[in-house]
Amino acid sequence: MSLKQVFEQNPDRRYIMFGGKGGLGKTTFSAATAFWLAQKGYRVLVFSVDPQASLTDIFQKDIFGKGAVPIIENLWAQEIDADSHIKAYQGEIRKKILDMYGFDAVPDEIEDYIQAASAEPAMEESAIFDAVVDIVVKGDYDYYIYDLVPLGHALYYLSMAKVYDEWINKITKLREEMREYETMVARIKREKETDEDKILTELQYIKGRINASSNILTNKDKTAFFFVVVPEEMIILDTQKAAELFAKFDVPIAGYVVNRVLPAELRTQEVPAYLKNRLAMQSGYIDKIKTLLGNQVLGYVPEMERDVTGLAMIEKLANIMYG
């Protein structure tokens, strides 16, 4: 099966991820896929969760932290700026405090706490995670293409939903216990029932959002995860290990795409020994990929004559991948 057939036969799969080790072509494949889908008339958002995102470079347009930026008709690209997401979040919290208590200013101690939040490195990752939840839950587009971070980190993001879910359950349980004692006191004193619990409501809201997004991402019918590999020994070994790990997190692996394949016509030409060796090496590893992955390989993408940046090259690659 080809990549194109996978898309055509699974029209409900609207969340597309390309994953793999760093530098193998995740961003280029994301951009080319987004380009192809947009040309077919779908509304497509390609977005990056990588703090060192390269969508700006590939589209040759500064999009970092600018929200969804239009690239061509039907195609938007977004690079999440964790810092500004955190700032906006802090602002919301401050506003809520002022509104709730009628303060003129947030109390010093609370303000200190809010400010310290942006200093924590884990906050940045959570902010990106939350921004993705935001994008997915809103549902403004037909297709969402994730330009993922390198493997280990991608797993971390995927596991974050589970970590948060457990955290929320723990807090909710404690809060519910408090609630029981509160009603007990009210009943003994024959007071009217206590008001709706705002903390529980907020926890349920957060849980709902996180679950909605992680349900989508682990749903085989809605999501496709493609591994990008290149014909090199270390990459093949690492990808195999990663695939096992990803399976544990219920990531719906839809197939593999092999990148950087040296053009076949080189074999028939008179080429220098260096290139001859590379060709021999690659065909060995391609055979290995074929035995290991068989029909899970959805495409072989050749090494291009130059790096893929700018719309003309993206279009060219899209034609090769989906033509």
Binder of other proteins out of 8, 62, 120, 307 (CB under 8 A): 120
CA distance 214 to 14: 14
DSSP, collapsed to helix, strand or coil, labels residue 25 as coil
Residue 171 as a binder of other proteins (CB under 8 A): the answer is: yes
What residue has token string 């971390």?
156
Residue 187 is encoded by which pair of tokens? Answer: 């009943």
* Shortest reach from residue 190's CB to other proteins, in Å: 9
* Shortest reach from residue 289's CB to other proteins, in Å: 39
- For other proteins, give the closer residue by CB, 122 or 312: 122
- C-alpha of 279 from chain center: 34
Residue 110 as a binder of other proteins (CB under 8 A): the answer is: yes
Residue 117 as a binder of other proteins (CB under 8 A): the answer is: yes
Binder of other proteins out of 130, 157, 228, 252 (CB under 8 A): 130
Count of residues that interact with other proteins, criterion CB under 8 A: 42
* Shortest reach from residue 96's CB to other proteins, in Å: 4
Residue 122 as a binder of other proteins (CB under 8 A): the answer is: yes
Scanning 8-16, 111-119, 213-221, 245-253 for contacts with other proteins by CB under 8 A, the matching segment is: 111-119
Q: 103: left (phi > 0), else alpha (psi -120 to 50), else beta?
A: beta
Residue 193 as a binder of other proteins (CB under 8 A): the answer is: no
Scanning 14-22, 122-130, 220-228, 282-290 for contacts with other proteins by CB under 8 A, the matching segment is: 122-130
Residue 18 as a binder of other proteins (CB under 8 A): the answer is: no
CA distance 157 to 170: 20
Binder of other proteins out of 88, 178, 237, 280 (CB under 8 A): 178
Strand order in the sheet with 15-19: 69-72, 75-79, 44-48, 143-147, 15-19, 223-229, 253-261, 297-302
CA distance 147 to 145: 6
Torsion of CA 117, 157, 208, 96, to 10 degrees: 20
Residue 88 as a binder of other proteins (CB under 8 A): the answer is: no
- For other proteins, give the closer residue by CB, 185 or 280: 185
Residue 202 as a binder of other proteins (CB under 8 A): the answer is: yes
- 101 — phi, psi (to 5°)? -105, -5
- For other proteins, give the closer residue by CB, 100 or 273: 100
Nearest partner of 157 among 31, 245, 256, 262, judged by Cα: 245
The per-residue b/e assignment along 228-239, b for 16 or more CB within 10 angstroms, e otherwise, is bbbbeeebbebb
Scanning 60-68, 72-80, 87-95, 233-241 for contacts with other proteins by CB under 8 A, the matching segment is: 87-95
- At 155, which amino acid appears? L
Question: Which parts of this chain interact with other proteins (CB under 8 A)?
Answer: 89-90, 93, 96-97, 100-101, 107, 109-110, 112-114, 116-117, 120, 122-123, 126-127, 129-130, 164, 167-168, 170-171, 174-175, 177-178, 181-182, 184-185, 188-189, 198-199, 202-203, 206
